[in-house]
Amino acid sequence: MQTKLPKISEKRIALHVSRVAERAIRSGHPWLFENAILKQSHQGKMGDLAVIFNKDRKFLGIGLFDPESIIRVRILRALKPATINQQFFEEKLRTAHQHRALLCDSDHTNGYRMVHGENDGMPGIVIDRYAETAVIKLYTPAWIPHLNDVVAALKNIFPFERIVLRLSGNLKENKYNLFDGMILDGKMLIDPIIFLENGLKFEADPQKGQKTGFFLDQRENRARVEELAKGKSVLNVFSYTGGFSVYAGRGGAKEVISLDASKVATDVAKRNFSLNQPASIMESTVHTIVTGDAFDAMTKMKKKGRLFEMVIIDPPSFAHKKSQVEGAIRAYKKLTRLGVEILAPNGILVQASCSSRVDSELFFDSIHLAARQAGRQLNEIERSEHALDHPIGFPEGEYLKCLFATAR
Ligand code: SAH
């Protein structure tokens, strides 16, 4: 380990919690909220181990303490005591690894999610693999004192060249900022990493890129786009580094436009397309970049009478809290309207949402409604949710949904 990280306190915090929290823990929920704590042994520090008891002093679980979040404890083990150490994490990693055997053993894919937080029994931490690089992303700083153990465990599962640390957006704004992009182990990163997804090459920048460098959760939806793209003109809205575009190219699309507000992202999209172009059918696909606001660009295309045979809309999360859900639905509907207005008769609309706050049914209904209001009827081809490496183990964990439909 090349970096000094804070050490774990020897002293554990004892917490006594309400009956409501007890029921949630017994049913397997991984979070203990601040307002459920009735008694706390001492103040404690970020990342201390917290031992949770019910009102009758019966053991309920052990987890990581975060004094700065309303999710006060992320539970590592419920109902059965455990020693939280390297071996404990190694067992979790091994189980997660086995669950992904189909991906881990593939010659075509070496970029995928190794650990999906709560859903793999490691709440508040995500680990993505990009070829020989692992990227650990934290959603709570409570993991920081445990990273030595996690890194040692990870190296026993796979001989990574390097392990990079990333922090979620809300943590980057404060004193934890210095940890974001840190190399926890192994070689410095000089050039972007090239990894494989379904045999296609992509570049990722795990130190500065969005998420951990790539949107690994869309792999299967991208493969579906490839199957549907033959001979089509495709508009990929919110393209980021061109994931959907490259698949559409391999699927035989005649034209692909990647549209995103970030120039860094569209520059990479251009490179990702070229990385794959020489060796395949993509040679004949014309790929164009548009850097700008999605709503403005689509409106301009509509005014010009531009029509596509496939429009893919995969925006960022519009709802981080409950109060933003209404606004998010309005934005999704506006995007659907704009999308179908530039869609040729019987063209395909692919629209996704990554907001866990937005319920799937509400999302799909809103798309249908918006399309009807724009005078188009959608015939569904498919609805998709989470892939194998993004399992869902609790209600709040569900976030991704995507609709494939033709517009009459
Ligand atoms: N579809 C992508 C992931 C999209 S993430 C993939 O498969 O990899 C959301 C993207 O939306 C980001 O790249 C972000 O730069 C872009 N974005 C956010 N707001 C935007 C806007 N108003 N107009 C265009 N792009 C925007």
Check for a shared fold between 13-78 and 86-195: no
CATH class for domain 86-195?
A: alpha beta
Fold entry, domain 13-78: 2.30.130
Strand partners, 101: none
The owner of tokens 């999605």 is 294
The model's pLDDT over 275-330, given as tens digits with 9 standing for 90+, comes to 998 766 788 899 999 999 999 999 999 999 999 999 999 999 998 888 898 999 99
Tell me the CA–centroid distance for residue 214 and ligand 1, in Å: 12
Find the mean pLDDT for residues 382-399: 89
Q: Which of 255, 215, 263 is nearest to 235 (CA)?
A: 255
Q: For residue range 160-206, what is the model confidence (pLDDT) as tens digits?
A: 999 999 999 888 777 888 899 999 999 999 999 999 999 999 999 99
* 6 ligand 1 Cβ < 6 A: no
What integer is the mean pLDDT of 246-256? 96
Q: Which CATH number fits domain 215-407: 3.40.1160.10, 3.40.50.150, 1.20.1270.360, 3.30.1540.10?
A: 3.40.50.150
Coil, strand or helix at 260: strand
Average pLDDT over residues 8-12: 86
Give residue for tokens 């606004």. Answer: 327
| Dist. CA 22–CA 225, nearest whole Å | 45
Q: Which two tokens stand for residue 92?
A: 């979790």
Residue 52, pLDDT above cutoff 70: yes
Provide the residue ranges of all domains of the chain, joining segments of one domain with +. Answer: 13-78, 86-195, 215-407
Mutate which of 240, 298, 335, 384 for ligand 1? The one with the most ligand atoms within 8 Å of its CB, which is 240
261 lines ligand 1 (CB under 6 A): yes
The mean pLDDT value for 356-369 works out to 94
The label of the residue with tokens 């520059």 reads: 267
Which atom of ligand 1 approaches the CA of 354 most closely? 5
Report the nearest atom of ligand 1 relative to the CA of 215. 8
